[in-house]
Structures are given as structure tokens and as C-alpha cells.
A and B are shown apart, each in its own frame.
Chain A
Amino acid sequence: AQSVTQLDSHVSVSEGTPVLLRCNYSSSYSPSLFWYVQHPNKGLQLLLKYTSAATLVKGINGFEAEFKKSETSFHLTKPSAHMSDAAEYFCVVSDTYNFNKFYFGSGTKLNVKP
């Protein structure tokens, strides 16, 4: 069965420093992988997706993620954090046999200090 593990429940960085949010997945085959962001009192918004094309995926707001099959990882990074990046981030994997079914990680809350 598919699963997603987000290794950090909370990450705190200073504005202008790099961001790293870690995600490991479990899947029998090459899955589709996504990162979503959830700002307080707002809906989940897609940041980026990986669907077996380029392993380095660029998303919105300067975020990117790299698919590493050997490490079963899909970590989210950003070179320089902005105050507006403070939110909760979810790593998501698709089901192996049903690409319309998605499993969410437990989320990582990103705090950005001025």
C-alpha cells in the first residue's frame, strides 16, 4: 500500500534562508507525487507535481522538489524563505492502481521568522 511520511511536523527558518521540507514515500511503482500548501483558513493549493517526467520539478513561488527513486524521497526546497511562505505543507502520493486516489502526509508547518 502507498504511504507518505513527512519527517518533520514543524520547521522554523529565518526569512531569506533556505527551506527544506522532507518527504519519503512508499509505493510499489513510480507514483505521481505532489506538494500542496495550506494557508490558514484557505483551501489547499497545488505547489508542484511529479508525474514521471523530469525528476527536478519546479513549482510556484520559487519552490522545487526532486524525485529520488533510490531514496524514495521527494523533498521540497526553496532557496530563500519569505514571510508569506509560512503555512502547512503536505506531500501527496497517488495510489499505484488508482491514479485518482491520493494519500496525504501528516503535514509540515513552516514558520518563517523575521
Chain B
Amino acid sequence: GAGVSQTPSNKVTEKGKYVELRCDPISGHTALYWYRQSLGQGPEFLIYFQGTGAADDSGLPNDRFFAVRPEGSVSTLKIQRTERGDSAVYLCASSPLAGANSGANVLTFGAGSRLTVL
């Protein structure tokens, strides 16, 4: 596609519910990233994929958070037993290469999915 697409743009859920957030990256981009942006803060790294595999998931806050990218394109961020503290904007980004410091690892971001947990 022309850009990174994220759905839903807004999600309101109740505490304890399960949520899935979807990211459709730019076609052909190898790397895909998830960030979380809480109110008044900068984006916080969660996980990134190189192809189908999670190359670094060290930013996932706990085991309630999980992400997949089964075919190396679309990714889904899954949050189980949501808590009020999970409320944030979840940002997805993609880049063409996940190699060394080539300068090609510029991220293109989607508009984000705003999650509100009541």
C-alpha cells in the first residue's frame, strides 16, 4: 500500500477484555515495529520483526502482550486481560531493511491505534 495502515483507529474496551490491533506495513518492507505512546510521552519501543520472526521483543511490558507476523507482512498486536494502564496510542512502523547502520532503517509510521481501557 501507499503507507502504513493501522486498524482500528480507535478502540474502547473494558478492563479484562482481549484486544487485537492490526498493522499493514508498506509493501516489501522487511522490518516492522510496534511502539506505544502514552499521553505526554514519546513513543516507547515494544517489539520489532525482521520478516516473520520477532527479532527483539524486549520492550513488551509483560506476558499479556504478544505480537505476530505470520507471513512477514501484516502484524497483529494482541493484549490479553487489558488493564487501564494499557490505555495509549499504539504505533506501528515499517522500514525497507533491518540491516546494519546503512541509513536505510528509516521508519515510516502509521497514524496509530488509540486504545482506551475503561
Assess A102 versus B45: contact at CB under 8 Å? Given A43-B111, A43-B112, A51-B101.
yes
Among the 9-residue stretches A11-19, A62-70, A71-79, A103-111, the one with 4 or more Cβ atoms under 8 Å from chain B is A103-111
Closest CB of chain A to B86's CB: distance in Å?
19
Q: Is A90 an interface residue (CB 8 A)?
A: yes
Q: Is B110 an interface residue (CB 8 A)?
A: yes
Cα–Cα, bound, A94→B108 (Å): 15
Number of interface residues of A (CB under 8 A): 26
In whole angstroms, what is the CA distance A13 to B8 when docked?
36
Chain B residues engaging chain A, CB cutoff 8 angstroms: 3-4, 31, 33, 35, 40-45, 48, 50, 55-56, 91, 93, 95, 98-103, 105-112
Q: Chain A: residues with CB nearer than 8 A to chain B?
A: 4, 6, 32, 34, 36, 41-46, 49, 51-52, 90, 94, 98-107
